[in-house]
């Protein structure tokens, strides 16, 4: 994590995402802008929740880890999204781990300033309410998507989610093969079945599996296969 001490850039993101009205005059001086590199953790499951983040650039993935060390990817998020909103409202530790999929910019504000200046500020509370309720709607859509579409469609959508960031044309990621088991859990299929579909995609020239990585070779055909449904 790197703090970007550039108030003009902070003001740019506030204006670009229409956030000036969300944070009142007392809170604005306490906002900070942070950057995270691809693969960097933004917050970790079980850690104290001290900062509310607002994702303004890039893509993140959210996952949970069991006591046995198994991980399950829950969702992918792009702007505009709040990270740590439920923790702030509930006053609890970080529920899930959040990791940068691409280079990421976040606006952050410490809980102590939110409690002092924002606890009764209706635009901020309305913003958090909209974000939290949208998360429930997206989760419902994701569950329906898994139930109503074949594995080929779900895998195409998953690969597009982890390999590209629509807000960053320069980002063209690779999905590590060691995460395929997590992918199987995420899209609701068996590891063996997913491997068969991956082999099918390789044969069809959609992807390439080489030296521990999956490389997307034909984004347009994957997008057409997914029906333009992307896990977000």
Residue 202, preceding bond cis, omega within 30 degrees? no
pLDDT tens for 195-226 read: 999 999 999 999 888 776 788 888 889 989 98
How high is the pLDDT of residue 232?
61
pLDDT tens for 58-103 read: 999 999 988 888 777 888 899 999 999 999 999 999 999 999 988 9
Q: Please state the pTM of the whole predicted model.
A: 0.80
Domain definitions of the chain by residue range = 2-144, 150-226
Taking only Cα atoms into account, the Rg of the chain, rounded to an integer number of angstroms, comes to 19
pLDDT tens for 12-35 read: 999 999 999 999 999 999 999 999
Answer yes or no: CATH 1.10.540.10 is held by domain 150-226: no
Rounded to whole angstroms, how far apart are CA atoms 60 and 97? Answer: 10
CB 31 within 8 A of CB 94: no
Residue closest to 55 by CA, chosen among 88, 74, 81: 81
Rounded to whole angstroms, how far apart are CA atoms 185 and 192? Answer: 12
- Give me the CATH topology for the region 2-144: Jelly Rolls (2.60.120)
Residue 80, preceding bond cis, omega within 30 degrees? yes
- Reply yes or no on whether the pLDDT at 165 is more than 70: no
The per-residue pLDDT of the chain, averaged, comes to 87
């Amino acid at each position: 994590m790197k703090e970007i001490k550039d108030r003009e850039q902070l003001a740019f993101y506030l204006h670009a995402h229409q956030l000036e009205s969300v944070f009142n005059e007392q809170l604005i001086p306490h906002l900070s802008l942070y950057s995270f590199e691809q693969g960097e953790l933004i917050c970790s499951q079980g850690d104290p929740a001290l900062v509310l983040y607002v994702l303004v650039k890039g893509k993140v993935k959210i996952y949970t880890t069991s006591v046995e060390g198994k991980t399950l990817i829950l969702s992918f998020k792009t702007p505009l999204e709040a990270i740590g909103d439920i923790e702030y409202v509930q006053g609890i530790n970080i529920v899930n781990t959040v990791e940068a999929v691409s280079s990421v910019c976040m606006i952050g504000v410490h809980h102590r300033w939110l409690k002092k200046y924002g606890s009764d500020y209706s635009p901020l509370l309305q913003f958090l309410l909209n974000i939290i309720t949208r998360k429930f709607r997206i989760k419902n859509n994701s569950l329906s998507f898994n139930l109503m579409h074949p594995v080929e469609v779900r895998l195409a959508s998953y690969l597009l989610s982890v390999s590209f960031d629509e807000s960053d044309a320069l980002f063209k990621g690779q999905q590590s093969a060691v995460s395929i088991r997590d992918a199987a859990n995420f899209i609701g299929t068996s590891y063996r079945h997913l491997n068969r579909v991956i082999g099918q995609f390789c044969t069809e020239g959609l992807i390439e599996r080489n030296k521990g990585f999956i490389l997307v070779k034909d984004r347009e055909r994957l997008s057409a296969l997914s029906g333009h449904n992307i896990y977000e």
